[in-house]
Amino acid sequence: MSTDVKIPQAEVETLHTNGKGVKLPIYMDNHATTQMDPRVLEEMLPYFMEKFGNAASRNHSFGWAAEEGVETARERIAKLVGATTKEIIFTSGATESDNLAIKGVAEMYREKGNHIITAVTEHKAVLDTCKRLEKYGYRVTYMPVQKDGLIDLDDLKRAMDDKTILVSIMFANNEIGVLQPVAEIGKLCHERGVIFHTDATQAIGKVPVDVIKQNIDLASISGHKMYGPKGVGALYVRRKNPRVQISAIIDGGGHERGMRSGTLNVPSIVGLGKACAIAQEDMPQESCRLAGLRNRLRDRIMGRLDEAYINGSTEHRLPGNLNISFAYVEGESLLMGINDIAVSSGSACTSATLEPSYVLKALGTGDDLAHSSIRFGIGRFNTEAEVDYVADRVIETVERLRELSPLYEMAKEGINLKDVKWAGEAH
């Protein structure tokens, strides 16, 4: 029984080096966004002040120089995913790519059918787009996932009918890092003559993506998730076996083979290309290093704390992702206690509402455990020292908050919290 508990809190200054050799604050939220790689910035710079031409200006060297930068980037992106350059179009980001892929297919193939299949754990860019299409009369099936976060292929098979025109399942989940069996999904779709789109935002540059081997017809790509610039992305659109066509959602000049009008954001496109080139080279080594760091973080935390649960498959997972629920400790208070570390609780995208994560709910996680979850995203610039520091701070904060928690106390007394009649109203 302690009163007036005083725990020293690490000071949060903009740049503070503690005795353990880490600079604070630490960024470990690489699924939300990533720091730009200095090599990417260097590649982009000439395109602001010197090679500043409009890539569509066909008649002078300013335009040609810009176009050259764009086409080099296009090649690099195509190479990373196993596509041809004609199959890569540039967008403002993965959200636009998702919109373009789904709406583009829906409109183009509406004579063929009006049924779309996706999953409940998709990013809002996919889910909200599907909701809008439902308003226009399309039928959407939102497939559930299993406890480990993976789609059941038999369920998918059963969900398809003769009006199905599109399946959209993300390659890697942004919250729990789970990797879907995309090659099998693609194969199934091709057998049925259904187009397969995957939001590959979190996967590109982290795990191998091969549109041919993995039977992918459309893939969304984002720059700022792979140490490239924000505000730029790409969409892979298959041209052979089968040829996929999409209606544009932005009109105005017919750029990008008529699929996406608008003057190209040349510097950012160049940056995206460079980010892909770096990933192509560094991926094998980097994913190994990140998995090692992630496992170190996981083992250190799980080794010290009881009743900590990893959300999502441990086997089919992005190397740098970890998502843990700490029973009896509320997520926002946990974040407050580790305020010199940048991570997320629940989905970063819905953090404004502080609603419990819908992805965790889809796994069958209870609301209280969903509220108690932390997502760690280890990235290129994280070090082992940072991982150790983060682990220790999380452990000490969870332990401290459990001392404050009536739920932990009740659990230790042997009370089953599910049997308790709570005074509070249900959500």
The residues carrying an active-site annotation are: 349
Indicate which single residue of 333, 342, 358, 392 sits in contact with another protein (rule: CB under 8 A): 333
* 50 lies in the binding site for another protein (CB under 8 A): no
Angle between helices 124-135 and 94-108 (to 10 degrees): 30
Indicate which single residue of 329, 343, 359, 390 sits in contact with another protein (rule: CB under 8 A): 329
**191-195 — which CB contacts under 8 Å span 24+ positions?**
192/160, 192/164, 193/242, 194/160, 194/164, 194/165, 194/166, 194/167, 195/105, 195/109, 195/165, 195/166, 195/167, 195/242, 195/244
Please report how close the Cβ of residue 395 comes to another protein at its closest, in angstroms: 17
Site string for another protein, 224-263 (x = CB under 8 A): ----------------------------------------
The span from the CA of 398 to the CA of 156, in Å, is 40
* 9 lies in the binding site for another protein (CB under 8 A): yes
* 203 lies in the binding site for another protein (CB under 8 A): no
* 416 lies in the binding site for another protein (CB under 8 A): no
Stretch of residues binding another protein (CB under 8 A), selected from 60-68, 210-218, 287-295, 406-414 = 406-414
Stretch of residues binding another protein (CB under 8 A), selected from 144-152, 266-274, 302-310, 407-415 = 407-415
Please report how close the Cβ of residue 7 comes to another protein at its closest, in angstroms: 7
Q: For residues 16, 296, 179 and 88, what is the CA-based torsion angle, rounded to 10 degrees?
A: 50
Q: Who's near 99: CB < 8 A, 6+ residues apart? A: 125, 129, 249
If you ran DSSP here, which 8-state letter would residue 179 be given?
B
* 13 lies in the binding site for another protein (CB under 8 A): no
* 336 lies in the binding site for another protein (CB under 8 A): yes
What value, to the nearest 5°, has the Cα angle with vertex 354 and ends 353 and 356? 115
E-strand stretches of 244-394: 308-310, 321-326, 341-342, 373-377
Task: Report how far apart, in Å, the C-alpha atoms of 106 and of each of 103, 129, 142 are.
Answer: 5, 11, 16
If you ran DSSP here, which 8-state letter would residue 314 be given?
S
Indicate which single residue of 282, 330, 388, 392 sits in contact with another protein (rule: CB under 8 A): 330
- Using CB under 8 A as the binding rule, the residues of this chain from 353 to 382 that contact another protein are 356, 366-368, 371
Indicate which single residue of 149, 271, 337, 377 sits in contact with another protein (rule: CB under 8 A): 337
Number of residues that bind another protein (CB under 8 A): 34
* 306 lies in the binding site for another protein (CB under 8 A): no
* 4 lies in the binding site for another protein (CB under 8 A): yes
Cβ proximity to another protein: between 41 and 417 the closer is 417
* 194 lies in the binding site for another protein (CB under 8 A): no
The span from the CA of 336 to the CA of 333, in Å, is 5
Coil/strand/helix, residue 232 = coil
| Residue among 118, 185, 184, 178 nearest 147 (CA) | 178
Please report how close the Cβ of residue 36 comes to another protein at its closest, in angstroms: 26
Residues at the interface with another protein (CB under 8 A): 1-7, 9, 328-330, 332-333, 336-337, 356, 366-368, 371, 403-409, 417, 422-427
